């Protein structure tokens, strides 16, 4: 089973009773999460950098749940190496993911 901060947070929210929506880019990871978390977790394959995908997910959440109460923004990307070795392109890409 895949693990991570997002999945661990989804487990905690589900333990408290609400329904949870998860997004991610990796279908296999999402399938494992869906199987583990059960019917109160709605899973969408979507890339946070894709504005159409974000709009589609938010529209589906609105349709299914009527509203969105909490957002736990957990997308991230890291690059190996020191800051001195990090290109401006890598730095910008990392921040783009982190802040969308």
pLDDT of 2 reads 53
Q: How would residue 96 be classed by pLDDT, with cut points 50, 70 and 90? A: confident
| The overall pTM is greater than 0.75 | no
pLDDT value at 80 more than 80: no
What CATH number has the domain spanning 5-99?
A: 3.40.50.720
pLDDT one-digit tens code per residue, 42-77 = 999 998 889 999 999 999 999 988 988 888 877 766
Exposure letters 45-75 (e unless 16+ CB within 10 A, then b): ebebeeeebbeebeeebeeeeeeeeeeeebb
């Amino acid at each position: 089973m895949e693990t991570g901060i997002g999945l661990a947070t989804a487990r905690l929210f589900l333990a408290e009773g609400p329904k949870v929506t998860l997004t991610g880019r990796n279908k296999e990871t999402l399938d494992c999460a869906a199987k583990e978390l059960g019917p109160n977790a709605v899973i969408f394959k979507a890339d946070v950098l894709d504005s159409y995908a974000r709009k589609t997910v938010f529209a589906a959440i609105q349709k299914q749940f009527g509203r969105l109460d909490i957002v736990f923004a957990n997308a991230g990307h890291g690059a190996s190496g020191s800051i001195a070795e990090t290109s401006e392109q890598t730095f910008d890409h990392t921040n783009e993911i982190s802040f969308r």
